[in-house]
Amino acid sequence: MDLQPDLLTATLGIVVIRLDDDLTVTEVHGEIDDLAPGHDIRETMPVLYGLEEALAGPDVDIAMPLIQTGRNNDEPVSLHIRRDPETGGLWLFRRDVSEESAIHRQLVQNHNSLSLAQAELVKARDAAREADRTKTAFLANVSHELRTPLHVIIGGASILSKTGERRPDPSEVVEYATDIHESGILLLQLVDDLIDLSRSETGDLTLYEESCDLCTIVAGIVSLCRDLPEARGTRIDSDIPDERVGLTGDARRLKQVLLNLISNALKAVNGLAEAKVTVTVDPDGPRLIVADNGAGMTAEDLAIARQPFGQPRAAVRAKGAGLGLAIVHRLVALHGGDLVIETAPNEGLTAIVTFDPARARPAS
Amino acid sequence: MKTYKIVVLGDFGVGKTSLIRRYVLDEFSEAYRATIGVHIYKHLDSLEGDDLEVSLVVWDIEGAPLPGEQTRRYIVGASGAVIVGDLTRDDPFPAMWQAADMFEEALPGRPLCLALNKSDIASVKSPETVKRMARRYDCSVFETSARTGDAVNTMFRALARSILSLGL
């Protein structure tokens, strides 16, 4: 190798360093801080640690085009190490590549920033598409749930309005009037649920908080549910502490949570078995547990049931738009609580509402 | 004291530089600044419990979804590797598989570990894939956060212990 280190240094600004096989510096051509003959090159250029084996070979030719060095990684250099075939010595060529690296940096920075931004845009687009699909499905479900009772009302009213020979007899009048009344209540319930759901989505569902007693709430709602027509044949038990279980919350909304959970349990057991409501006070906070020994459901069906209008495929098709559980979930969250559902096919379902212990307080 | 070379590999923007700077300098910046080429950090660390000091040179290598020829050259002589993925991405694993495969092919038997980074804002979406990777490379997996520092030192020290235990 006809190497002229001083010429390379003078014309191209390349620092040329000659090394022993143990990586000790023997010659330095050009200016470089903290390096002189006798030094271990790795102390100044730690990039060479780990390369000892590769540098021990007979045909060393290692190029590292862009290494950031210096205390703040702000001194871009290219390194090239070759073995002189004639003398067997190692030569290291160090070149300042500040200018090239500045251009390279700009290109890489722009490319990476654009790619990351593009990935975010794709995510946002997919989320918007999903939201649009959900909205369309939601509207279709609302339309469907509105049409059924409306058809009953319109059809019933039409029959009741007939005169003369086509006028319904008194027993039919009662039947049609009852259907119209029940459908009206169903519609009102649906509209109320939709308003609750909408307000919870927009953050406008406000709690009117007060000091409540969970035991009183449970006792009242369980008593009410026992009188419901759909509870016929189903035993509804309750297990509540003798002492009051105080909770800061919205009593009306807590009753709604419990009513929805018991209502779901009644649909699940379908008048054939039993449901039980329990109140406990655990270190994690007050708990409200509603369990049934009905058909239960798969994890997949449970995920569907948690969604607004979700109707699990395997579940018994019952009255209701499938909004109850979604509303319960939101109301519990508004109370700083957590809703956990444990279920499996043919093993019933247990809904466990755990309230934030900070909300527990002596009931007044 | 022997100094060991550790390479940190992964796609761009996953937080390789942030992890290293958290480990070496105990600092973090929200700003994204692409690494070009290689940044070199020298760090002397103590392995708690073992009463050992270890000298590391950590190579912060320019990120890419597919490691190129230059990356293959940069990993020469490495005693171990950290393969980094970003938990906020839909699928951080393809780039991690690529990097881990390349490292194992180039330096068979050298230890590596997986860093699932940004754990302060996202969680693992595919635990099965993580288990499969851990089995495939016989390596530890760490859910790290360069922002909070969670599991960062633990991960680098675990890798250092693996390197020492192999007597590299």
What percent of chain A has a predicted confidence (pLDDT) above 70? Answer: 92
CA distances from A319 to A258, A260, A276, B37 (A): 18, 12, 21, 65
- Looking at CA atoms only, how far is residue B83 from chain A in angstroms? 19
> Mean pLDDT across chain A, nearest whole number?
85
> Are B143 and B119 a contacting pair, CB within 8 Å?
yes
pLDDT digit string, tens, across residues B88-126: 998 999 999 999 999 999 999 999 999 999 999 999 988
Task: Summarize the confidence of residues A57-85 as an average pLDDT.
Answer: 84
Amino acid type, A217: I
pTM, rounded to two decimals: 0.65
Query: Is the CB of B77 less than 8 angstroms away from the CB of A50?
Result: yes
In the predicted structure, residue A1 carries a pLDDT above the cut 80: no
Tell me what percent of chain B is helix, strand and coil, each rounded to the nearest 5.
35, 25, 40
CA dihedral A179, A181, A182, A185 (to 10 degrees): 160
pLDDT at residue number A190: 81
Q: Mutation test of the interface with chain A: which of B4, B11, B27, B36, choosing the one with the most A Cβ atoms within 10 A? A: B36
Task: Say whether residue A123 is in contact with chain B using an 8 A CB cutoff.
Answer: yes
- What does the alpha-carbon distance between residue A227 and residue A164 come to, in Å, rounded to a whole number? 40
pLDDT digit string, tens, across residues A45-60: 888 998 888 898 888 8
- What does the alpha-carbon distance between residue B93 and residue A229 come to, in Å, rounded to a whole number? 55
CATH no. of A125-202: 1.10.287.130
> Are B14 and B63 a contacting pair, CB within 8 Å?
yes
pLDDT digit string, tens, across residues A189-247: 888 888 888 888 788 888 899 999 999 999 988 888 887 777 777 888 899 998 889 99
Q: Which of B165, B17, B124, B12 minimizes the C-alpha distance to A108?
A: B12
What DSSP string runs through A253-284? HHHHHHHHHHHHHHHHHTTSSEEEEEEEEETT
State the distance between the two ends of chain A, measured CA to CA, in whole angstroms.
Answer: 96
Query: Is the CB of B38 less than 8 angstroms away from the CB of A47?
Result: yes
pLDDT digit string, tens, across residues A154-177: 999 999 999 888 888 888 899 889
**DSSP state, A96?**
E
Enumerate the CATH 3.30.450.20 domain ranges in chain A, comma separated. 5-96
The CA angle A134-A135-A137, to the nearest 5 degrees, is: 65
Task: Summarize the confidence of residues A279-308 as an average pLDDT.
Answer: 84
Burial (0-12, 13-18, 19+ Cβ within 10 Å), B10: buried
**Domain total of chain B:** 1
pLDDT at residue number A31: 85
Task: Say whether residue A108 is in contact with chain B using an 8 A CB cutoff.
Answer: yes
Domain with residue B52: its CATH number is 3.40.50.300
Coil, strand or helix: which one is A88?
A: coil
In the predicted structure, residue A130 carries a pLDDT above the cut 60: yes
pLDDT at residue number A319: 56
Q: What stretches of chain A adopt beta strand conformation (E)?
A: 15-19, 25-29, 61-69, 75-83, 90-96, 210-213, 235-239, 246-249, 274-282, 285-292, 338-343, 349-354
CATH topology of domain A210-359: Heat Shock Protein 90 (3.30.565)
Q: Which of A302, A225, A236 minimizes the C-alpha distance to A263?
A: A225
Task: Say whether residue A46 is in contact with chain B using an 8 A CB cutoff.
Answer: yes
> Are B112 and B103 a contacting pair, CB within 8 Å?
yes
Q: Which of B74, B80, B155 minimizes the C-alpha distance to B111?
A: B80
Enumerate the CATH 1.10.287.130 domain ranges in chain A, comma separated. 125-202
pLDDT at residue number A72: 65
Q: Mutation test of the interface with chain A: which of B14, B30, B38, B54, choosing the one with the most A Cβ atoms within 10 A? A: B38
Nearest CA in chain B to A75: B39
CATH topology of domain A5-96: Beta-Lactamase (3.30.450)
pLDDT at residue number A361: 72
- Name the pLDDT band for A363 (thresholds 50, 70, 90): very low
Amino acid type, A150: L
pLDDT at residue number B7: 97
pLDDT at residue number A313: 60
> Are A232 and A275 a contacting pair, CB within 8 Å?
no
- Residue B121, both tokens: 């804002």
CA dihedral A247, A249, A252, A258 (to 10 degrees): -60
Task: Say whether residue A313 is in contact with chain B using an 8 A CB cutoff.
Answer: no
- Name the pLDDT band for A314 (thresholds 50, 70, 90): low
Full residue range of the structural domain in which residue B148 is found: 3-165
